[in-house]
Structure 1
């Protein structure tokens, strides 16, 4: 299993592979991270790990990662692990997503505007708070372990995932229509959606209006078929609930999400 040590960026959000993540970075411990990433060779990936903070744990008090929120005047800069307890790894979900920063722009006030894309899932093995920012040792988390271990089982799993993907897309269109009150022609069409079941599973997980624990459960599903199966049940349940609610304001979910926050 491939392991690596990467900068760690905790958020009150879940990032999925293939999804875009815009960040507003104000706190010094995260500014230091971005300064180092920005100084790296532009041809090399500028990677860091996004991990969701567990319920009840403290996140960055100045709204790190949340667009439009700056630190309050007089905010004291904090140590890398401050706010996450004596053993920071306990404050985070153990499965996160590697982000590749395509854009890192430093503003005049020293804060950063960052645009990153989720790439692969990883599992946290340890967290180090001894440097200017948190780092984590992580290992890759394969999407479909069965496909790697047994070719016949892998083929069967892929066929199941493909069938589930079609059902999830149908359910997602119905969910969108109920939620947004949109006309059929304004919804995502088949031409706009990916064919790869794993990509579909991540797109739907990010676009659906679900709480962080549910999104985290979808992120760490052992394989695509399991994730799609759970999404199908969730979409059917949510659509049934929305059907019995009063009319909701229109919400534009017809575009690929650009920020899972």
Structure 2
């Protein structure tokens, strides 16, 4: 299995492959992370991207990668972070602030590599980052010895499983029904003006991200052993959620594809 050591970015949310993640970064530990990612990217850009045979170097795609992992037990923002005073908390500093003495225990063990398309430093020293989820990974270890957390991770393959294609079709039908119920009389939906994909793994991740579920449910979908298992679980969840919504008097339309920007 392929392993790597990458910067670790814990969040109170789950990132799925193919999904966009906007971040507003103000804590020093994550500012340091983005400074290092920007420097690495600049170094890669200044190097010759082509080899002697004209082929591109795949490592040039790596400098802006970091791992997003969902927090199981801990604080997304340290008590000492700017704008987040907490007089009842002990002062916490360092890369593991808010995550205890053994930070890996605070995180779910399956996360997602994020590739930062843009890293923009603002005048106040904070950063605006736009990243996209790429591959699932398993956390093997977490290192808190530097200015920010890093993790040794192992890439998880995406196996199709049995009958993934047929399951994807059923999930898409259930998802459209769910959207219409959720949106109410106006019937606004995620697919307005666009078609949903039909590739089973893409369907499974899009539906997992767009369905209104709590973090444990989303995490279970992320770490499903294969696409078919994820789709089966989504079919159950969508039918259950649609049944609940059907018995509610009304719900406002929800823009499912646009999550709020995550503060770190």
2:68 to 46, 50, 65: 50
Gaps in structure 2 of 5+ consecutive residues: 46-59
Distance 1:62 1:107 in 2: 23
Q: Is 1:71–2:83 an aligned residue pair?
A: yes
1:187: Cα distance to partner?
Answer: 5.8
Give 2:27's aligned residue.
27
Give 1:151's aligned residue.
none
TM-score computed with the length of structure 1 as normaliser: 0.85
Distance 2:94 2:25 in 1: 16
1:249: Cα distance to partner?
Answer: 1.5
1:17-67 Cα distance to aligned partner (Å, 9 max, x none): 00000000010000000000011235533100000000x422223799xxx
Give 1:124's aligned residue.
139
1:173-222 Cα distance to aligned partner (Å, 9 max, x none): 00000001155686626961112100000000000000000000000000
Residues 109, 225 of structure 1: alpha-carbon distance in 2 compared, 3 angstrom cutoff: same
Distance 2:115 2:196 in 1: 23
Give 1:226's aligned residue.
229
Distance 1:186 1:86 in 2: 44
Distance 1:185 1:57 in 2: 36
Q: Matched residue of 1:40: which SS?
A: helix
For the Cα contact (< 8 Å) 1:20–1:258, is it kept in 2? no
Q: Which runs of 4+ in 1 moved over 6 A?
A: 73-77
Q: Matched residue of 1:192: which SS?
A: coil
For the Cα contact (< 8 Å) 1:27–1:71, is it kept in 2? no
Residues 186, 28 of structure 1: alpha-carbon distance in 2 compared, 3 angstrom cutoff: closer
Give 1:59's aligned residue.
76
Q: Matched residue of 2:218: which SS?
A: helix
For the Cα contact (< 8 Å) 1:13–1:260, is it kept in 2? no
Residues 113, 236 of structure 1: alpha-carbon distance in 2 compared, 3 angstrom cutoff: same
TM-score computed with the length of structure 2 as normaliser: 0.84
Aligned residues between the structures: 241
Gaps in structure 1 of 5+ consecutive residues: 65-69, 148-153
For the Cα contact (< 8 Å) 1:20–1:259, is it kept in 2? no
For the Cα contact (< 8 Å) 2:158–2:227, is it kept in 1? yes
Distance 1:185 1:53 in 2: 32
Give 1:150's aligned residue.
none
For the Cα contact (< 8 Å) 1:27–1:77, is it kept in 2? no
2:127 to 112, 117, 131: 112
Distance 1:94 1:118 in 2: 16
